[in-house]
Amino acid sequence: MSGPIYEPRGAAKEYGDYALNIYTGCPHECWYCFAPGVLHKVREEFHRHVEPRSILIPLERQLAKEDFRGKTVHLCFTCDPYPTGYDTTPTREVIKLLKGAGANVQILTKGDGSRDFDLLDGEDWYGITLTGAKMEQEPGAENSFTRWYSLLDARKHGIKTWISFEPVIDAERVLAWLGGTVAPAADRVKIGKLNYHPSDINWAEFGRRAEALCQELGLDYTIKESLRREMEREA
């Protein structure tokens, strides 16, 4: 592939076959963010320097050369497609190009993408991240309730919805969400552990409880591989 759309590797592959990153950084300042390390950037600079990458013309060229019809492109891995407090017109332009080429879009955000629901349809996915983190651990992101209501709004527009419970920061809070409020709003959930940071969560126990809740509620769910390994290790 030659262009801004690429094939993710490693754990990122569990989210989709294709991805595209729109911005140079992210203002949400999540303390657990992996992106600065992956991009070899100073964390403070990554959170403060948020600009659209120059990808629109390269994206047009790639879409003209390669066939993405019916393929789903994930937005985004190393940034958020809806950085809070910034003009997200670049995201809208990217979505227009992808949909115009017959591709489907899978969004994952801690922001609010409702401005672009008019561009999406029943083949697209709108997702939010809920980790159970406290507001001071994600100080630049939209609060959990704002994210939640945008998810409900997406469903009203006929868009498929999903929640990424990764990385889990507060296990009990995530379990409460799974048991009480997910089913009315999300068509799919993905659950993953906190990696690269110490945690006192018993991951095997958490994973089993989360999976039991998903099965009890009949949710379409995915347990990420790193969490599944913890569950199998102590089975």
Q: Is the pLDDT of residue 235 over 80?
A: no
pTM: 0.94
Q: Is the pLDDT of residue 15 over 80?
A: no
Split at pLDDT 50, 70, 90, the class of 183 is: low
Count of the separate structural domains present in the chain? 1
b/e map 1-16, b = 16+ CB within 10 Å = eebbbbeeeeebeebb
d(CA 14, CA 11): 6
d(CA 121, CA 126): 10
The answer to whether residue 33 sits within a structural domain is yes
The answer to whether residue 216 sits within a structural domain is yes
The answer to whether residue 92 sits within a structural domain is yes
Does the CA dihedral 228-125-142-81 come out positive or negative? positive
Kindly tell me the burial class for residue 216, based on how many C-beta atoms sit within 10 Å of its own C-beta (0-12, 13-18, 19 or more): exposed
Rounded to the nearest 5°, which phi and psi values hold at 18?
Answer: -135, 155
The pLDDT tens digits for 82-98 are 999 999 999 999 999 99
Provide the CATH number for the domain around residue 228: 3.20.20.70
The answer to whether residue 4 sits within a structural domain is no
The answer to whether residue 83 sits within a structural domain is yes
Q: What is the DSSP letter of 66?
A: S
Question: Average pLDDT over the chain, rounded to whole?
Answer: 94
Q: Is the pLDDT of residue 12 over 70?
A: no
Degrees, nearest 5: CA angle 105-119-178: 55
d(CA 147, CA 80): 13
**Containing structural domain, residue 222:** 10-233
What pLDDT sits at residue 77? 93
Q: Let me know: does 118 contact 158? Beta carbons within 8 Å.
A: no
The answer to whether residue 5 sits within a structural domain is no
Average pLDDT of the segment spanning 4-24: 87
What pLDDT sits at residue 149? 92
The pLDDT tens digits for 143-162 are 999 999 999 999 999 999 99
What pLDDT sits at residue 233? 84
Q: Is the pLDDT of residue 196 over 90?
A: no
The answer to whether residue 14 sits within a structural domain is yes
Tokens of 153: 């709004």
The answer to whether residue 1 sits within a structural domain is no
The pLDDT tens digits for 40-70 are 999 999 999 999 999 999 999 999 999 999 9
What pLDDT sits at residue 2? 81
Q: Is the pLDDT of residue 234 over 80?
A: no
